[in-house]
Amino acid sequence: MGKNCWCGSGLPHEACHKAIEDKMRELRAQGYRLPNKRLIKNAAQIEGCREAGRINAMVLDKVAENIRIGMSTQDIDDIVHSYTKELGGIPATLGFEGYPKSVCTSVNDQVCHGIPSKKVILQEGDIVNVDCTTVYNGFVGDASRMFCLGEISENAKKLVETTREAVDIAVSHLKPYCHLGDIGYYINKHARENGFHVVRDIGGHGVGLSMHEDPYVCHIGRLGHGILLIPGMIFTIEPMINETSGDFWMDEQDGWGIYTVDGTLSAQVEYMILITEDGYEILSK
């Protein structure tokens, strides 16, 4: 009887990750960069992440049903908090490194990490990113959506659509043993072709067993560069795409809010992705 697999599944290595490990060894010998094996989740962990992602998407669906002009971003936080609890989950951001709320709500020129507030009232023409992270049975689901309030400007519409398209294009190219840099290449290419700018220094990340894991996913990349993506890896793709520049500043008063340098618009869309043995699976969006 062989030893149990290193992934923690409890299964014999031969019946679990031996084929993937052999493939990784072969690729490493050819000079490719490989991730640490600890980034590869076992079947039980994948199922836990899948369920957490499903619950997380349900919370975003609840926001989609209720978001409207005239409500405050605190109202969004209240919906997220109460519905997450109702579903048996925990809002992951609440208390994370001192963050005070259950969700991030970033409006117009806010790139990310907007703190919900009773003072921020959604207006006609606003665009808002709702970034939701949920712990469910010890696993983490993570995704964000853009919402458009009433009639928005043509440029705002184009920015939001371009951001969604960029994520979808990058995801469509995912496959086992492709390069991490491919993601940023396709996102940046689509953003630039439409006249917009990707934020380089804030990116996606591994997720599932905790809220932020390796690898860091930069949304500006080079085709065929970076580590290879191995079946069992779970991470987010979440580009922040700005209207006129990829530069930003942080609100030192609240210590969280990130804004465009010139007050122009920013959009973000986030998917939680699993690399499978024959492609990919979107776990939350």
Instruction: Indicate the pLDDT class of residue 192, thresholds 50, 70 and 90.
Output: very high
CATH code: domain of residue 139:
3.90.230.10
Sign of the torsion formed by the C-alpha atoms of 11, 13, 15 and 20 = positive
Mean pLDDT of all residues in 187-208: 98
In a domain, 223, yes or no: yes
Say what the pLDDT of residue 90 is: 98
Listed ranges 5-9, 111-115, 250-254; the one with the highest mean pLDDT: 111-115
What pLDDT sits at residue 98? 96
Say what the pLDDT of residue 2 is.
64
**pLDDT value for 7:** 93
pLDDT, tens digit, 9 for 90 and up, residues 43-69: 999 999 999 999 999 999 999 999 999
pLDDT at 157: 98
CB-facing half-sphere around the CA of 5: CA atoms within 13 A: 21
pLDDT at residue 191 is higher than 90? yes
Domain membership flag for residue 16:
no
Averaged over 204-218, what is the pLDDT?
A: 98
Instruction: Supply 49's token pair.
Output: 């992440």
Question: pLDDT band for position 15 (50/70/90)?
Answer: confident
| pLDDT at position 252 over 90 | yes
Distances (CA, A) of 61 to 8, 64, 89, 193, 261: 34, 5, 15, 31, 31
Please check whether residue 222 lies inside any domain of the structure.
yes
**Mean pLDDT (whole number) for 93-108:** 98
The model carries a pTM of 0.96
Domain that holds residue 219: 37-284
Q: Has residue 1 got a pLDDT over 60?
A: no
* 255 belongs to a structural domain: yes
Predicted confidence (pLDDT) at residue 22 exceeds the cutoff of 60: yes
> Number of folded domains in the chain?
1
Does some domain include residue 30? Answer: no
